[in-house]
Amino acid sequence: MSTEKQFDVVVIGGGPGGYIAAIRAAQLGFKTACIDEWTNAKGAPALGGTCTNVGCIPSKALLQSSEHFEHAGHAFAEHGIDVQGLQLNLPQMLKRKDGVIKSNNDGIVYLFKKNKVSFFHGRGTLAGGTEGAYTINVSGPTTDTLTAKNVIVATGSNARELPGAPFDEKVILSNTGALTIDNVPARLGVIGAGVIGLEMGSVWRRLGAQVTVLEGLPAFLGAVDEQIAKEAHKLFKKQGLDIHLGVKIGAISNRGNDVTVEYTDAAGGAQTATFDRLIVSIGRVPNTTGLGLESVGLQLGERGFIAVDDECRTNVPGIWAVGDVVRGPMLAHKAEEEGVAVAERIAGQHGHVNFNTIPWVIYTSPEIAWVGKTEQQLKAEGVAYKAGTFPFAANGRARALGDISGMVKFLADAATDEILGVHIIGPVASELISEAVVAMEFRASSEDIARICHAHPSLSEATKEAALAVDKRSLNF
């Protein structure tokens, strides 16, 4: 083999975990390659993985467009802006979304060139070798054989199917089909009231679909702080999402142009519902198919994830794994942090990921964002805590925006005042949560936030006020 195909680091997968790991490895001076098989409709590579192609980016593009549509239909009138003849141009909305995807794909190509990462378009398969020299075959648009001293597996995840209801992406949709529906369904079913179900349900409800959400668990958004989840449930119901909790899904019949779902409701009653389209969003499974794990003796752990230690080392020396294919939250920024940390560990540095300060965001309207512990977790762990909340209804900027639903909630240690969790439901919660993440990373107290000068009028004043509320000292509520 020519030396051109010998690398210090080969990354399999070009999603947020993989492409960021490749860039960081190259920055650290390693000769680096990244292999990714994602291909767009024109047969070209489409770097960025699930996140860029069928996840974070297109969903946020459609959430934004559909929110504009809804505001033009209702909220603008309150501002004194009358919109006549409002019409949905769905092909344009989808075209814009595709353009946003493409510009992100192209951005990564540019970053690879800038950082001298070699890109191979195709499927990467481990094909044996030993420590210091692993072989990876590339097949697909590109056929090649590479060797690597270090391999980073970042092959991501796929949507989980319901038994007996395979995705056809026409009637029964995964996230991929949910992002490309070409006419607004009159009746949209969603199985799973998790992050995808609520985000995609919101998009299509805003565009005119009657959305029914069927959730297996009796509690709404069980991982979210109960007070915030209760508020969210109330607001989403008011918006028109028809949410049924505690259901048991039975037979699903896909007739090609509609689908019938039989289920048992929370009271034990037999129900049948017919939908034009059905989004199944019941979680995702790690993607290790055809990766050649056995050729190097790479072990899987629980539920098919690649088994890794806290530092993303697999059982095979020199082979690492990051992102959705390993344990932990399936989030793009978690994958990226792991990618950076692994590249730095390969370089002998002390790469670090703080799993306690990974923020979560659900991009509904209002947005829901949190970091750290929920109140129910603190109770279960027997931790003595103080809580402070502040409603956006008492925030001047929120009133000016016309977006007053929701609150900021602080949870702090009763003895030391260290911030243990921050939970936000409200406008741009996704941005507001960063202050809390920084504070927790620096192990700040709620008093620290309460004493920091926040610009007026700004939504972030609600964060300061919630911190003040921990010691019952809110000034504006």
Active site residue ranges: 456
Contact segment (CB under 6 A) with ligand FAD among 241-249, 262-270, 320-328, 446-454 equals 320-328
| Per-residue mark of binding to ligand FAD, 159-188 (x: CB under 6 A) | ----------------x-------------
User: Restricting to residues 115-134, which ones interact with ligand FAD according to CB under 6 A?
Assistant: 123-124
Return the structure tokens found at 166. 């395979």
Q: From 174, 170, 164, 182, select the one nearest 277 (Cα to Cα).
A: 170
The reply on whether position 249 binds ligand NAI by CB under 6 A is yes
Of 308, 324, 292, whose CA–CA distance to 160 is shortest?
324
Stretch that binds ligand NAI, among 27-35, 214-222, 292-300, 350-358 (CB under 6 A): 214-222
The answer to whether residues 21 and 108 touch, using CB atoms and an 8 Å cutoff, is: no
362 interface partner picked from ligand NAI, ligand FAD, none, CB below 5 to 8 A per type: ligand NAI
Preceding omega of 329 cis (within 30 degrees of 0): no
Other CB atoms within 10 Å distance of the CB of residue 33? 27
DSSP 317-350: TTEEE-GGGSSS---HHHHHHHHHHHHHHHTTS-
Q: Kindly state whether residue 330 participates in binding ligand FAD, applying the rule CB under 6 A.
A: yes
- Tokens standing for residue 366: 């209002």
Positions in 33-52 near ligand FAD (CB under 6 A)? 35-38, 49-51
Residue whose CB is less far from ligand FAD, 261 or 332? 332
Q: 96 burial class (0-12, 13-18, 19+ CB within 10 angstroms)?
A: middle
Please say which residue, 152 or 469, places its beta carbon nearer to ligand FAD: 152
Residue 192 interface partner, choices ligand FAD, ligand NAI, none, CB cut-off 5-8 Å depending on type: ligand NAI
Convert 105-121 into a string of H (helix), E (strand) and C (coil): HHHHHHHHHHHCCEEEE
- The HSE-up count of residue 293 (CA atoms within 13 Å, CB side) is 19
Nearest C-alpha neighbor of 164 from the set 243, 234, 259: 259
Q: Is 425 annotated as a binding residue?
A: no
Strand order in the sheet with 242-244: 172-173, 277-280, 187-191, 210-214, 242-244
Q: Are 337 and 353 in contact (CB under 8 A)?
A: yes
Nearest approach, Cβ of residue 331 and ligand NAI (Å): 5
Q: Which does 359 bind (CB under 5 to 8 A by kind): ligand FAD, ligand NAI, none?
A: none
65 binds ligand FAD per the rule CB under 6 A: no
Site string for ligand FAD, 189-218 (x = CB under 6 A): -------x----------------------
Q: Which does 392 bind (CB under 5 to 8 A by kind): ligand NAI, ligand FAD, none?
A: none
The token duo for 293 is: 């794990």
Partner from ligand NAI, ligand FAD, none contacting 216, C-beta within 5 to 8 A by type: ligand NAI
Among 100, 181, 188, 196, binds ligand NAI (CB under 6 A): 196
Nearest to 284 by CA among 388, 176, 380, 373: 176
Q: What is the DSSP letter of 181?
A: -
- The residue from 9, 331, 378, 412 that contacts ligand NAI (CB under 6 A) is 331
The answer on whether 197 is annotated among ligand-binding residues is yes
338 pairs with which residues across the strands?
Answer: none
* Residue 197 binds to ligand NAI (criterion: CB under 6 A): yes
57 binds, among ligand NAI, ligand FAD, none (CB under 5 to 8 A by kind): none
Give the footprint of ligand FAD on residues 257-296 (CB under 6 A).
287, 291
* 12 known ligand binder: no
Q: Where are the alpha helices (DSSP H) in 121-255?
A: 175-178, 195-206, 226-239
Give which of 374, 429, 362, 50 is closest to 195, Cα–Cα: 362
Asked if 335 touches ligand FAD (CB under 6 A), the answer is: yes
Closest approach of ligand FAD to the CB of residue 57, in Å: 8
Reference 155, options 28, 34, 57; nearest CA is 34
Question: What whole-number distance in Å separates Cα of residue 169 and Cα of residue 173?
Answer: 4
Binders of ligand FAD in range 138-157 (CB under 6 A): 154-157
18 makes contact with ligand FAD (CB under 6 A): yes
The least CB distance from residue 393 to ligand FAD, in Å, is: 27
Return the residue of 11, 178, 188, 191 that touches ligand NAI, per CB under 6 A: 191
Q: What are phi and psi of 26, to 5 degrees?
A: -65, -40
- Cβ–Cβ under 8 Å, residues 310 and 300: no
Binding residues: 60, 124, 155-157, 192-199, 215, 283, 324, 330-333
The footprint of ligand FAD (CB under 6 A) covers 12-18, 35-38, 49-51, 55-56, 59, 123-124, 154-157, 175, 196, 287, 291, 323-325, 330-333, 335, 363
The footprint of ligand NAI (CB under 6 A) covers 191-197, 199, 214-217, 249, 281-284, 329-331, 361-363
